[in-house]
């Protein structure tokens, strides 16, 4: 095993800030929907809206960072070892089976993670943003008057937004669980805090480390 600097500063900042904003949105979103009353309806709505705009700004910066650094290539899906990875998560992980894929600097995500994150970034997150903005600006002030978007009702929009929220929460629960499946239960979390992770030393990692430093 060799310690490798695998997660850059912005990558870690983006990850934890995104997590904080999503948890805030979930907490305030459930309160807005009447699940409980802690902050109060008006405060919950304001915090929810501010967090939503903050998340959109963060994602814009993250998209820019991914494309300017080439990190977007991490999410290109591949069928190689996809079935083996699924079998590992379903049964192999409980039998202490060897991991079917190996993490490297240029390949941080396994095939199933690539596919999951691609769906998350291309469909689920945009769904939440679009439905949330429509719901937020369904009625808006302009020139001293209140205007409405040219749609009959936001009922369907609200349902789609809620379904998306539950799917996002399901992903987070699975994500938190899978972070405990590293070399130790906390190794993946420590790596996302410090940027350094212990990877198996082999020719692929040596080559990729050299390419990153050149």
18-40 tens-digit pLDDT = 999 999 999 999 999 899 999 99
Confidence (pLDDT) at 56: 96
pLDDT given for residue 152 in this prediction: 66
φ, ψ dihedrals at 99, nearest 5°: -70, 130
Report DSSP state, residue 104: B
Interval 103-110 mean pLDDT? 88
Length of the chain: 214
Does position 5 have pLDDT exceeding 70, yes or no? yes
Listing DSSP states for 6-42 in one string gives -S-HHHHHHHHHHHHHHHHHHHHHHHHTTS--SS-HH
- Per-residue pLDDT, averaged over 202-211, amounts to 46
Domains of the chain, by residue range, sit at 2-213
- The confidence score (pLDDT) of residue 166 equals 95
2-213: CATH topology: Fumarate Reductase Cytochrome B subunit (1.20.950)
Residue 150: predicted pLDDT: 67
More confident of the two residues 127 and 211: 127
- CA dist 42 and 55 (Å) reads 20
Average pLDDT over residues 91-111: 87
In the predicted model, what is the mean pLDDT of residues 112-126?
93
> pLDDT tens digit string along 39-92?
999 999 999 999 999 999 999 999 999 999 999 999 999 988 899 999 998 898
Over residues 163-173, the mean pLDDT reads 94
Rounded to whole angstroms, the Cα distance separating 31 from 37 reads 6
Query: Cα(197)–Cα(185) distance, rounded to whole angstroms?
Result: 13
**Residue 169, pLDDT above cutoff 70:** yes
């Amino acid at each position: 095993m060799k310690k490798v600097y695998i997660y850059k500063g912005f990558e870690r900042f983006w990850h934890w800030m995104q997590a904080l904003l999503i948890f805030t949105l979930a907490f305030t979103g459930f309160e807005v929907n009447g699940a409980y009353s802690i902050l109060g309806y008006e405060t919950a709505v304001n915090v929810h809206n501010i967090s939503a705009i903050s998340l959109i700004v963060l994602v814009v910066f993250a998209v820019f960072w991914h494309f300017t650094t080439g990190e977007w290539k991490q999410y290109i899906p591949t069928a190689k070892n996809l079935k083996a990875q699924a079998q590992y998560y379903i049964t192999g992980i409980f039998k202490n089976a060897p991991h079917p894929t190996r993490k490297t600097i240029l390949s941080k995500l396994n095939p199933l993670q690539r596919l999951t994150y691609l769906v998350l970034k291309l469909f689920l997150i945009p769904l939440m943003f679009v439905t949330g903005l429509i719901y937020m600006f369904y009625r808006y002030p302009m020139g001293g008057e209140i205007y409405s978007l040219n749609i009959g009702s936001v009922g369907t929009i609200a349902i789609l937004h809620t379904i998306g929220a539950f799917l996002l929460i399901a992903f987070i629960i699975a994500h938190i669980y899978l972070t405990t499946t590293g070399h130790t239960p906390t190794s993946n979390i420590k790596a996302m805090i410090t940027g350094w992770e212990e990877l198996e030393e082999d020719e692929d990692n040596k080559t990729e480390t050299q390419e990153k430093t050149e």
